[in-house]
Amino acid sequence: MADSTSGVSINSINSMIGSTNSNRVSGLASGIDVDSIMTQIMTAESQPMIQMQQRLQQTEWLRDDYRSMNTLLSNLEDTIFPMKLQNSYLTKSATSSNDSIVSATATPNAGNTTYKLSNVKMAASASAVGGEITTNPDFDPDKSLASQSEILGSLPESITFSITTYDENGKPIAPDPPFSFDPGTTSLNDMLKTISDSNSGVNAFYDPFTHKIAMTRKETGNLNPNGSDIVFSGNFITNTLKMTSTDANFTDGSDAEFTINGLDTHRHSNTFTVGGVTYTLQGNTAPGETATVRVDNDTEAVFKKITDFVDQYNDTIAKINDKISEKRYRDYPPLTDLQKSEMKDSDIENWTNRAKSGMLASDSILTGALAQMRQDIYSSVSGTGNDEMDQLAEIGITTSTDYLEHGKLVVDEAKLREAISTDPQAVMNLFSKQGTTEADQGIMQRLDGTLKKTVDQIEEKAGKTSWVEDQYSMGRSINDMNERIAAFKLRLVDVENRYYAQFDAMEAAIQQANSQAGYLQQFMGQ
């Protein structure tokens, strides 16, 4: 064990307790090494404080270990949360026979079936190309409009106009108030960017090669059956910018058209949902060409969710078991700064590793949590809908036979895949079923309750990094220890001052006696 007094000086003790007595000079008259004596006295007097500092350090280490364990438990809880939900086990896959025609995704509500698409014609967006604004090559779309009035013609002090589009229900969409620009500060490109960024629903740009403006509807489909999909209003946009929905260069939007399982239908968008399956058209079919979309249970997605949970569960219990099984080295208290100053870095590291070891050895909160988690996992679940799938072992998840692995879960992948494929509803109930009693609850419901309780217990004891010390019990103990250490340091300063005062008085008395003896010797010698 490290010696707490080896190499200690009165100056190092003064530094430890915050004393300013480092410049005293004593023992000149008596010949006594006062500093050496004071070092021994103050070393003995400071032992209770050193022990308090060591207890403080141990408490902080214990708190930090608790928090690291709580991080593991909280992360496992985050993984478990979505697995309490039924949709996690009813995942469906949608596979297209021709991704160049259609791609698809399926929701858990989709039925296991096959859809056949033919006569596919993709939806298109409305577009408008204006007439030639100018033939003058000097026109600059980045300069203010007013500075180019000789090219564009006379401009008003304020330019206003409207662009009206339509939503999927045929309801008009127009900026309110209408677009308004100051030609003295606005360029053509500024204006077109404002239009594109607005809720008008069009993208606009100017082509300097043709001197024309093009606008395209952001949404696809024939959204205004009674007229044009883009309507321009205002003298500047129709006359100066030559944009009008009646020109030959205007193209209305068109709906997607297709036949699905013999039903001819259409949609405004190339992405649409039918029967819980979301389709995205990717291309038109040739005459007689078809594409099929097959919907099945997504066994692999469910399998991965379960095995990912098993991996994280195993990692969590392994780390907790390692922590509560650590050996406690009680002969290795935390090192003081004085002790560290006389040790090599490698020795400090080795000592500190042993001093930190076993802070959570056999901890009741963690051992209790592990025991409850094992019970949560191994107990059968009533009401799964399949009596042959009411325990993990029956779907291929068992416990390792190696007792050193402390209940590690082992997965029979083939058996688990078969269970998911054969009866996904029973697998879902085994994990996620809700119930009023523990026996009725699915495994994830039970585990979630156990983890929440454990995390709350640890937080009440060790808090979180974002909490102040007064918010948790160990923090309040840390505050109390810091206050007692500070008070003890003040007491040590008083003790040191008192002893030095006594030595100073002794020195003064000896000096006076020596002075008197010298006077007598001088008197007797006369």
Decide: 195 and 128 in contact? Cβ < 8 Å: no
Element (H, E) at 301: helix 299-324
pLDDT of residue 525: 61
**Can you give the pLDDT at residue 509?**
79
Average the pLDDT over 120-140 and give the result.
95
pLDDT tens-digit map of 166-213: 999 999 988 778 999 999 999 999 999 999 999 999 999 999 999 999
Note the pLDDT of residue 408: 94
Three-state SS for 184? coil
Region 149-156 average pLDDT? 93
Which of 200-214, 447-461, 469-483, 492-506 comes out lowest in average pLDDT?
Answer: 492-506
pLDDT tens for residues 403-420? 888 889 999 999 999 999
Other CB atoms closer than 10 Å to residue 201's CB: what's the count? 22
Each residue's pLDDT tens digit, 458-477: 999 999 999 999 999 999 99
Q: Specify the DSSP element, H or E, that contains 397.
A: strand 397-399
pLDDT of residue 5: 47
CB-based contact 324:102 (threshold 8 Å): no
What pLDDT is recorded for position 506? 80
Q: Which residue has the higher pLDDT, 282 or 248?
A: 282
Q: Is the peptide bond before 175 cis (omega within 30 degrees of 0)?
A: no
Give 3-13 pLDDT, tens digit per residue.
544 445 666 66
Half-sphere exposure at residue 21, Cβ-oriented, CA atoms within 13 angstroms: 25
CA dihedral 144, 145, 151, 155 (to 10 degrees): -150
Q: What whole-number distance in Å separates Cα of residue 398 and Cα of residue 405?
A: 13
Q: Which residue has the tokens 């058996």?
A: 415
State how far the alpha carbon of 488 is from the alpha carbons of 43, 46, 60, in Å.
Answer: 13, 8, 20
Q: What is the pLDDT of residue 504?
A: 77
Q: Which residue has the higher pLDDT, 493 or 18?
A: 493
Q: What is the DSSP letter of 239?
A: I
Per-residue model confidence (pLDDT) at position 413: 97
Assess whether pLDDT exceeds 80 at residue 390: yes
Cα–Cα distances (Å) from 343 to 325, 332, 349, 522, in that order, read 29, 14, 10, 56
Mean pLDDT confidence for 290-295: 97
The three-state DSSP-derived secondary structure of 342-369 is: CCCHHHHHHHHHHHHCCCCCCCHHHHHH
Q: How far apart are CA 382 and CA 29, in angstroms?
A: 92
Q: Has residue 29 got a pLDDT over 60?
A: no
Average pLDDT of the segment spanning 374-401: 95
pLDDT digits (tens, 9 = 90+) for 109-127: 899 999 999 999 999 999 9
What is the token pair recorded at 221?
Answer: 């489909």
Q: Is 336 left (phi over 0), alpha (psi -120 to 50) or beta?
A: beta
CA angle, 162 then 168 then 172, to 5°: 25
- The whole model's pTM is what? 0.74
Residue range 359-378: average pLDDT? 96
Q: How many helices (H) and strands (E) does the chain have?
A: 13, 18
Q: Which residues pair with 264 in a beta bridge?
A: 259
Is residue 23's pLDDT more than 60?
no
* pLDDT of 523 higher than 70: no
pLDDT at 33 over 90: no
- pLDDT range class, residue 498, cuts 50, 70, 90: confident
Over residues 389-402, mean pLDDT = 94
Each residue's pLDDT tens digit, 211-225:
999 999 999 999 998
Rounded to the nearest integer, the mean pLDDT of the chain is 91
| DSSP secondary structure letter of residue 144 | B
Identify the band that residue 514 occupies on the pLDDT scale cut at 50, 70 and 90: confident
Burial 34-65 (b: 16+ CB within 10 A, else e): bbeebbeebbebbeebbeebbbbbebbbbbeb
**The two structure tokens encoding residue 85:** 């939900």
Q: What band does 36 get if pLDDT is binned at 50, 70 and 90?
A: confident
b/e burial code for range 190-199 (CB count within 10 A of at least 16 → b)? ebbebbbeee
Asked whether the predicted pLDDT for residue 266 surpasses 90, the reply is yes
The answer to whether residue 226 scores a pLDDT higher than 80 is yes
**What is the percent of the chain where pLDDT is above 70?**
91
Q: Which of 69-78, 143-152, 234-243, 499-508 has the lowest mean pLDDT?
A: 499-508
Instruction: Output 336-341 pairs: Cβ under 8 A, ≥24 positions apart.
Output: 336/4, 336/16, 336/50, 336/53, 336/54, 337/16, 338/4, 338/7, 338/8, 338/12, 338/16, 339/2, 339/3, 339/4, 341/7, 341/12
Res 337: pLDDT: 85
